[in-house]
Amino acid sequence: MDQTKVGLSGSAKNNDRRDQKGRTAVRPESRERACPAARLRRRPCGALPAPSSRAACSRDTRLLGPAKREAWLQLRAEIEALTDSWLTLALKALTLIHSRTNCVNILVTTTQLIPALAKVLLYGLGIVFPIENIYSATKIGKESCFERIIQRFGRKVVYVVIGDGVEEEQAAKKHAMPFWRISSHSDLMALHHALELEYL
């Protein structure tokens, strides 16, 4: 049986833009490259609508009601324009990881759990972050969250941490996890490119 590698990423501060960056992945030991996801087998990539499209948000924002939903979609489109499509770039990388049957995205955030879940739904991230893979570090810190994730997935995996904060970088270093820093659009594009070429 193939050994599995898990890639882990922590980030997402109390900041809507940064909430798009904390993620995790898991990958097997069949390759020596670290991946932000645990790799088992490959499956066709499922297409995820662009965050600015109405379809991308249709399922996750049904509870808002037509008027509030329309207002939120408009606001989200404006946020995308102001941030040079930050969410779109992040979703491309997350979708690529999610499309692999041997990979998983894990969100570690300093936001409290309920607000974090709400943000995940509002930004259309529910499809790439299953609820069981969302961890709040508000009370216990990211290092403790990483330890819980290691207990869950085991040590025979490679964890890749993707984020922008010092806390997740230090936690990654303590657990000997590769750290991919995201501080600009070019970092996100480089991550997506590395995933496309299967370097990760």
Nearest CA to 108 out of 183, 174, 12 is that of 12
Nearest CA to 135 out of 58, 23, 26, 38 is that of 23
Q: Are 22 and 162 in contact (CB under 8 A)?
A: yes
- Kindly state the tokens that stand for 135: 């961890």
CA 74 to each of CA 19, 20, 84, 104: distance values in angstroms, whole numbers, following the listed order = 19, 19, 15, 30
Q: Annotated binding residue at 19?
A: no
Q: For residue 23, give the DSSP letter.
A: B
Residues tagged in the binding site annotation:
164
Residues flagged as binding site for Mg(2+):
164
